[in-house]
Amino acid sequence: QIPGCLDVGSAFSPRLGFVYPLTDHQTVKALYGEAFRAPTVNELSLQTFSGAVAGNENLEPETIKTWELIWLGIWDHHSLTLNGHYNEIESTIIRDENLPNGNFINQNQGDTFYGVEFDYSFQVSSALLIQANGALLGNLPDADFRQAEHMGAFIVNYQYGRWNLNVNSTYAGAREMLVGEERLSIDSYWLLNSKLSYGLNANVSFYLNMKNLLNEEYGTPPQRSIHTVPIPNRGRELVIGGVFEF
């Protein structure tokens, strides 16, 4: 790939892959790739409410190099994928809270981080499917302190005639937020969600979507340091709707 932009130049982004079947049910993949992210319009020319310029027209594009090793096993009723990756980022674009307007800048030093992931699926019967996935990240760039290093999900889906029930739970580990020049920890959380749907016919269906069933109180790290508490998310939420296809 050769993505380009008049304002920020261009980059060559190769991608290579090697696939080797170990057995009839198991495969190993080795992947290498490079990616290029040009600065957004906001990062180049954002203005604050006071009219001050927070953008930076001299920003360089971000580049990332990624190495991945993947093991994939597929059997009659279940499958498992294990993934390990290592990443190198150059010229990361961050918003520098130490500057008066929180200007966007390129980090001078490069960053490296790594992680492992898994994805498991079990088709218990023609009606029941169970899935689970998770990720552990390590040595995240300092600018990504708002990102959780541990994540996971568990999903159960049951189909009975025209009825379908989906129950899922998601987990996000602890994160941080910036208050002035100090970083505060935000607790990890579990969310439980469910969706019950009924297909009246091929073109009409109805559903009851239930989010955050346990009414968990959890927050999202704000982007600016002027906030002193996390941005609150919605509590328990019930949505009734229908889908009509023509």
What pLDDT, in 10s, does the model give residues 179-194?
Answer: 877 899 999 999 999 9
Residues 2, 96: Cα–Cα separation, whole Å: 29
The predicted structure's pLDDT at residue 44: 79
Residues 6+ apart with CB under 8 A from 204: 242, 243, 244, 245
Residue 2 has pLDDT above 90, yes or no: no
**What 3-state DSSP class applies to 45?**
helix
The predicted structure's pLDDT at residue 53: 57
pLDDT level of residue 4 (50, 70, 90 thresholds) = very low
Cβ burial, residue 59 (10 Å; 0-12/13-18/19+): buried
Strands (DSSP E) contained in the chain are 4-5, 9-10, 15-21, 26-37, 62-74, 78-90, 93-95, 104-106, 111-123, 128-138, 150-160, 163-172, 175-179, 182-186, 189-199, 204-211, 219-220, 231-232, 237-244
| Stretch 213-239: mean pLDDT | 90
The predicted structure's pLDDT at residue 187: 94
Residues 228, 186: Cα–Cα separation, whole Å: 12
Residue 47 tokens, joined: 């203005």
Residues 187, 50: Cα–Cα separation, whole Å: 34
**What 3-state DSSP class applies to 229?**
coil
What pLDDT, in 10s, does the model give residues 90-129?
Answer: 887 877 766 665 678 877 777 899 999 999 999 999 999 9
**pTM for the structure as a whole:** 0.79
Phi, psi of 42 (to 5 degrees): -60, -45
Residue 5 has pLDDT above 90, yes or no: no
What pLDDT, in 10s, does the model give residues 126-158?
Answer: 999 999 999 999 999 887 889 999 999 999 999
- For residue 118, give Cα distances in angstroms to 64, 68, 153, 238: 22, 13, 11, 31
- The H-assigned helical ranges of the chain are 41-45
- Which of 72-81, 161-170, 218-227 is predicted least confidently? 218-227
- For residue 180, give Cα distances in angstroms to 198, 227, 228, 232: 50, 8, 8, 19
The predicted structure's pLDDT at residue 48: 61
Residue with the bigger pLDDT between 74 and 8: it is 74
Q: Which of 198, 229, 233 is nearest to 217 (CA)?
A: 233
Residues 132, 155: Cα–Cα separation, whole Å: 6
The predicted structure's pLDDT at residue 101: 59
Q: Which of 192, 148, 193, 153 is nearest to 171 (CA)?
A: 153
What pLDDT, in 10s, does the model give residues 26-81?
Answer: 999 999 999 988 888 777 776 665 555 567 878 888 888 999 999 999 999 999 99
